[in-house]
């Protein structure tokens, strides 16, 4: 297994086409699943060598070779050699920081897209899926193993499934449709999170709520960077003149394109909601500060004249006639009550309270 790098910048100085994995630490053991099918035949098995893949190429039907884990560099080198895949394409497959894209070659098509998942803390995780589509063979490359394509495999295993009679272009559509459908689950999760944050924001705008809003804003930027280029990919596939995409399959890619636009529009609306929530939070904080300042101002206004009186009669001059009056003390206390009452009454009439 070749060395794995964390960031694309670490490849600086390496020759073009160098096969080095760039991304999260690869799984200890990669898994390669080969599925060969036709209208009346289906076979799924795990393969260990390129020879098994080559034998399947000559067995007829459609073959899907699915890589889970990018640790098997030697196998990818063999695919490049036997199937004529450009070294730069293999390099892009291993560099998992690619943006979604579509590239045409004489014998195959190269497609990159991203899967997106959200955990309980609303942190969004991405995974790169690379697709090499030939006339009768399809290669897919993933970073990890999970159940994303299990439903698609069950469709292929069903003898009544229409997908068994179609080619690699329709299988490519089915894979892309599965990924885009996963985006809708992501939008549902984000919608529920936004609703909860909106309720908390209206009830008690506090710092943890603000932190959640900032997290959502940052994750939405990340999601848009991963999804928006897919719109260009699907447009390019619809306009492509390659013979690998049949005309009858183009409407299916158009359907995925429409779904992608819906997701992008939804993310745009979420971004507007988040920006509005930030404005509400800042306004709530400012209003709360204004209320606090108003209360403090009222107290200060009440005590200013009282402090003035206390300051005058707290002086130690010898000749202050009021100090020798019999009722000076109770009269002063009377002023202490009358002045605040007068000030509060005046504030109330001005509707400042």
Alpha carbons 260 and 237: distance in angstroms, whole number = 14
User: Is it true that 4-283 and 297-349 share their CATH fold?
Assistant: no
Question: What residue segments make up the domains of the chain, in order of their start?
Answer: 4-283, 297-349
Rg (CA), the chain: 35
Q: Which of 38-42, 44-48, 181-185 has the highest mean pLDDT?
A: 181-185
Going by their DSSP bridges, the two strands 124-133 and 109-118 should be labelled as antiparallel
Residue 16 has pLDDT above 70, yes or no: no
| Backbone CA torsion sign across 98, 104, 105, 109 | positive
What pLDDT does 269 receive? 93
Find the Cα–Cα–Cα–Cα dihedral 18, 24, 26, 28, rounded to 10°.
150
Residue 138 has pLDDT above 80, yes or no: yes
Nearest to 262 by CA among 194, 180, 191: 180
pLDDT digits (tens, 9 = 90+) for 141-162: 988 888 888 999 999 998 888 8
Residue 20 has pLDDT above 70, yes or no: no
pLDDT digits (tens, 9 = 90+) for 218-269: 999 989 999 999 999 999 999 988 889 999 999 999 999 999 999 999 999 9
Residue 353 has pLDDT above 90, yes or no: no
Residue 12 has pLDDT above 60, yes or no: no
DSSP code, position 58: T
CATH architecture classification, 4-283: 2-Layer Sandwich (3.30)
Alpha carbons 275 and 60: distance in angstroms, whole number = 55
What pLDDT does 203 receive? 77
pLDDT digits (tens, 9 = 90+) for 170-219: 999 999 999 999 999 999 999 998 888 888 887 777 778 888 888 899 99
CATH tag, 297-349: 1.20.58.340
pLDDT digits (tens, 9 = 90+) for 267-308: 999 999 998 888 888 888 888 888 888 888 888 888 888 888
Residue 17 has pLDDT above 80, yes or no: no
pTM as predicted: 0.77
Give the pLDDT band (50/70/90) at residue 15. low
């Amino acid at each position: 297994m070749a060395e794995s790098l964390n960031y694309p910048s670490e490849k600086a100085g390496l020759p073009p086409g160098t096969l080095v994995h760039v991304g999260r630490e690869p799984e200890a053991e990669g898994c390669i699943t080969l599925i060969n099918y036709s209208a009346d035949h289906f076979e799924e098995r795990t393969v260990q060598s390129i020879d098994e893949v080559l034998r399947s190429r000559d067995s007829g039907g459609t073959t899907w070779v699915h890589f889970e884990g990018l640790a098997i560099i030697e196998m990818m080198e063999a695919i490049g050699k036997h199937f004529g895949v450009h070294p730069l394409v293999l390099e892009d497959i291993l560099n998992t920081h690619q943006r979604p894209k579509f590239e045409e070659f004489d014998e195959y098509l190269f497609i990159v897209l991203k899967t997106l998942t959200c955990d309980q803390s609303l942190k969004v995780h991405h995974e790169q899926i690379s697709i090499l589509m030939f006339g009768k063979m399809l290669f897919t490359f993933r970073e990890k193993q999970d159940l994303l394509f299990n439903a698609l495999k069950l469709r292929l295993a069903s003898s009544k499934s229409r997908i068994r009679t179609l080619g690699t272009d329709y299988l490519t559509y089915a894979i892309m449709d599965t990924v885009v459908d996963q985006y809708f689950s992501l939008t549902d999760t984000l919608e529920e999170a936004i609703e909860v944050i909106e309720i908390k924001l209206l009830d008690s705008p506090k710092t943890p709520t603000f932190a959640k809003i900032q997290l959502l804003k940052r994750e939405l930027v990340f999601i848009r960077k991963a999804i928006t280029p897919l719109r260009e990919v699907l447009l390019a596939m619809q306009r492509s003149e390659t013979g690998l995409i049949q005309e009858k399959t183009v409407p299916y890619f158009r359907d995925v394109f429409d779904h992608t636009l819906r997701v992008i529009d939804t993310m745009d609306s979420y971004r507007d909601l988040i920006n509005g929530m930030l404005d509400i939070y800042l306004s709530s904080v400012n209003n709360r500060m204004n209320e606090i300042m108003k209360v403090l101002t009222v107290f200060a206004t009440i005590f200013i004249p009282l402090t003035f009186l206390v300051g005058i009669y707290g002086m130690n001059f010898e000749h202050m006639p009021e100090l020798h009056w019999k009722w000076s003390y109770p009269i002063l206390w009377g002023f202490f009550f009358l002045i605040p009452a007068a000030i509060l009454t005046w504030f109330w009439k001005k509707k400042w309270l």
